[in-house]
């Protein structure tokens, strides 16, 4: 039997299945009028604490809810529930990132048109979440002052796919000799013009600026 090898053109995104779900989510969010923000960072950068404090502040003026992804446990959902807003945990099992389908499934029966803001806290990981669109309007990357000023240079892709950077634990900046100008330079090198918010969830410093920023973005 004579067989011939040939090359056929395909042109398809590998993550097309995720992109299709993400696009549908984005349309759904848009028509419901809910502004969706996702949070990415390394484990322990302070996503949950930051989100808890942010939710408390937003809740007084807006209808807010959150989804939180972790490999295991619902500890973060319990913590976020202290902000007295609807919260759902996504347990990913062995998966190191959230995918659009997990978000879609977790939303379940939530009526999105009753929300102004929805937050999606990704699994703590600075690598894998960068490849997956979740249908969000805005992606925040968090970096804590204890992690080192060069983190943006080590993980340029996640900074590049994010829209704004939040520098957490600024109340520890002096103790760890954190160099804010150098960090800003490094962020600007991997994502020129990126907006940077230094904050401290513990003292509340910088949180109002983010509330105002989100308020303005939503309109």
Partner 1 sequence: MHELSIALSLLEAAEDEAERRGNPRVLAVHLRLGPLSGVVKEALLSAFEMARAESSLPEARLEIEDVPLVVFCPECQRNRAAVSIQMLCCAECGAPTPDVVQGRELDIIALEIQ
Q: Given the rule CB under 8 A, which residues bind partner 1?
A: 3-18, 95-97, 127-128, 130-131, 153, 156-158, 160-161, 188-194
Q: How far is the CB of 81 from partner 1 (least distance, A)?
A: 29
Question: Could you give the C-alpha distances from 17 to 86, 127, 132, in angstroms and in order?
Answer: 28, 20, 11
Task: Identify which of residues 5 and 174 has a Cβ nearer to partner 1 in the complex.
Answer: 5
Candidates 140, 129, 148, 5; CA nearest to 70 is 129
**How far from the centroid of its chain's Cα atoms is residue 81's Cα?**
18
Least distance from partner 1 to the Cβ atom of residue 33, Å: 28
What whole-number distance in Å separates Cα of residue 200 and Cα of residue 187? 19
- Take residue 43 and report the two structure tokens written for it: 């484990």
Minimum distance from residue 154 beta carbon to partner 1 (Å): 9
Q: By C-beta, is 55 or 143 nearer to partner 1? A: 143
Q: Minimum distance between the CB of residue 162 and partner 1, rounded to whole angstroms?
A: 11
Q: Least CB distance from residue 19 to partner 1, whole Å?
A: 10
CB 45 within 8 A of CB 98: no
Tell me if 121 sits within 8 A of 67, measured CB to CB: yes
Which of residues 127 and 175 has its CB atom nearest to partner 1 in the complex? 127
Q: With respect to partner 1, which residue has the nearer C-beta, 29 or 159?
A: 159
Q: Which is nearer to partner 1, 18 or 48 (CB)?
A: 18
SS3 90: strand
């Amino acid at each position: 039997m004579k067989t011939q090898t040939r090359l056929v053109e395909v042109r398809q995104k590998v993550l097309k299945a995720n992109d299709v779900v993400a696009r549908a989510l984005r349309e759904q969010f848009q028509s419901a009028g809910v502004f969706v923000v996702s949070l990415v960072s390394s484990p322990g950068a302070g996503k949950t604490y930051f989100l808890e404090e942010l939710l408390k502040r937003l809740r007084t003026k807006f209808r807010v809810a959150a989804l939180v992804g972790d490999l295991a446990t619902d500890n973060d959902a319990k913590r976020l529930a202290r902000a007295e807003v609807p919260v759902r945990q996504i347990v990913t099992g062995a998966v190191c990132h959230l995918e659009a389908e997990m978000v879609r499934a977790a939303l379940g029966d939530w009526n999105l048109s009753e929300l102004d803001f929805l937050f999606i806290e990704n699994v703590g990981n600075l690598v894998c979440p960068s490849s997956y669109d979740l249908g969000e309007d805005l992606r925040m990357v968090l970096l804590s002052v204890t992690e080192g000023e060069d983190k943006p240079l080590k993980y340029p892709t996640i900074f590049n796919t994010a829209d704004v950077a939040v520098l957490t634990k600024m109340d520890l900046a002096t103790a760890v000799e954190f160099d804010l100008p150098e960090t800003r330079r490094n962020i600007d090198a991997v994502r020129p013009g990126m907006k940077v918010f230094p904050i401290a969830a513990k003292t509340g410093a910088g949180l109002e600026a983010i509330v105002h920023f989100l308020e303005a973005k939503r309109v």
